[in-house]
Amino acid sequence: MSSEDVLKNATTLASYNVLLQVMFRVLTFLLNAFTLRFVSKELIGVVNVRLTLLYSTLVFLSREAFRRACLSGVSGSNYSWRQVINLLWLTLPLSVVWAALLVWVWLWLLEVPDPQSVPHYGSAVVLFALSGVQELLAEPLWVLAQAHMFVRLKVVAESLAMVAKCSVTVVLVVLAPKWGLYIFSAAHLLYTGSLVLCYVIYFIKFLSSEEAAKKRFPLHHVGDLLPSRANGEPLVDWTLARLTWSFFKQSFLKQILTEGERYVMTFLNVLSFGDQGVYDIINNLGSMVARFIFLPIEESFYIFFAKVLERGC
């Protein structure tokens, strides 16, 4: 693929991501406005700040370094997709370790909400962590899609998952508001499960199609998506593994800078749960420009530079 084609695809992906972010923010705002009629603002605060922070921390620390390293690694000429996929599957056991640690912190070190106003907190913590682990099942497929510029797959998958999440949340909030945090936990599990299902279905159909052969796709069978050892080569590329470790050390600082205000509210208890929910809604409105424009550009053009430029040793 030429540099011009990569640039065109990256620009298209950025445009789609902007539209996706706009849709997400509009749906989230409308969903919060609707659910506040049926549940307490304290419950919304726990979901939007504490549980969302658990999920985002788990997912970010488990996959961010692998994404950056693998997208950079496949820009060179000396790499094996078999080793890349093996490395990406390490995100799954890593996410299990992070999930166990973060669940322990969220249940035993942080203040537990009042069970009368925020019921089923303990179960919700476990289910949100489980949703993060579930999403990591699609990580090798996500990197494959991004590396080969399948620009519409991410948009379609995340759109369908978000619509399913919002629909289930609305139905359960109306029909069973007493379920409390179970409502949002089930909706989030459905969201991550829908993401994984969309990627799996797409690649099952794609690998058996003539388009894969025409594009000389490096994988040929569904079994190639699973970890395995190829003859005559290590299980993983250790140069890529060291690069992953380098990105992993940087990811801690990036996560703190990205979610700093939520960590302050969660660990220092400077606001009540109801005030945290109100603050989160206002903060999302204030950061619209960065989320709508700069974040999609950063994500899309990181792929462009990873495809065009080869990282030096």
State the total domains in the chain: 1
Residue with tokens 């693929």: 1
Query: Which position has the token pair 């949340």?
Result: 169
With pLDDT > 70 as the criterion, what percentage of the chain qualifies? 77
| Position with higher pLDDT, 149 vs 227 | 227
Please state, in angstroms and rounded to a whole number, the distance separating the CA atoms of residues 28 and 118: 20
The helix (H) or strand (E) run that includes residue 188 is: helix 181-207
Note the pLDDT of residue 51.
93
pLDDT band at 226 (very low <50, low <70, confident <90, very high): confident
CA–CA distance, 41 with 131 (Å, rounded to integer):
23
Question: 121-148 pLDDT, tens per residue?
Answer: 999 999 999 999 999 999 999 998 888 8
pLDDT bucket at 194, cuts 50 / 70 / 90: very high
> Is residue 149's pLDDT more than 50?
yes
Q: Please give the single-letter amino acid code of residue 268.
A: L
Q: Which of the pair, 202 or 294, is modelled with greater confidence?
A: 202
pLDDT tens, position by position, 273-288: 878 777 776 666 655 5
pLDDT score, position 16: 62
Q: Which run of H or of E encompasses 305?
A: helix 295-308
The pLDDT tens digits for 84-134 are 899 999 999 999 999 999 999 999 998 888 888 888 899 999 999 999 999
Indicate the residue type of 242.
Answer: R
Q: Which domain holds residue 229?
A: 3-308
Q: What is the average pLDDT across 254-276?
A: 81
pLDDT in tens, 16-53: 666 766 666 677 767 767 777 778 788 888 998 899 99
* CA angle centred on 75, ends 72 and 77, rounded to 5°: 130
In-domain check, residue 313: no
Query: CA-to-CA distance for 60 and 77, rounded, in angstroms?
Result: 28
Per cent of the chain over pLDDT 90 is 27
Q: Locate tokens 């997709």: which residue? A: 81
Q: Give CA torsion, residues 208, 211, 216, 222, to 10 deg.
A: -20
Which H, E and C letters describe 50-88, residue by residue? HHHHHHHHHHHHHHHHHHHHHHHHCCCCCCCHHHHHHHH
Count of C-beta atoms within a 10 Å radius of residue 112: 12
Q: Is residue 66 part of a domain?
A: yes
- Measure the CA angle with vertex 18, ends 68 and 57; round to 5°: 45
In this prediction, residue 72 has a pLDDT band, given cuts at 50, 70 and 90, of confident
What mean pLDDT is predicted for residues 257-281? 79
Does 254 fall in a domain? yes
Confidence class for position 247, pLDDT limits 50, 70, 90 = confident
Residue pair 79/311 in contact by the 8 Å Cβ criterion: no
**For residue 70, is it within any domain?**
yes
Residue 8 vs residue 1, higher pLDDT: 8
Asked if residue 195 belongs to a domain, the reply is: yes
Looking at 59-68, 72-81, 259-268, 294-303, which range is the least confident one?
Answer: 294-303
pLDDT in tens, 204-216: 998 888 887 777 7
Distance of CA 25 to the CA centre of its chain: 16
- Longest Cα–Cα distance in the chain: 62
Q: Is the pLDDT of residue 251 over 50?
A: yes
Do 159 and 27 touch, CB atoms closer than 8 A?
A: no
Structure tokens that stand for 251 in this block: 């990811």
> What angle is formed at CA 175 by the lines to CA 172 and CA 181, rounded to 5 degrees?
40
In a domain, 116, yes or no: yes
Residue 313 has pLDDT above 50, yes or no: no
Per-residue tokens: 301: 């053009």
User: Is the model more confident about 153 or about 79?
Assistant: 153
If you search the block for the tokens 């726990």, which residue do you land on?
46
Mean pLDDT of the residues in the chain: 81
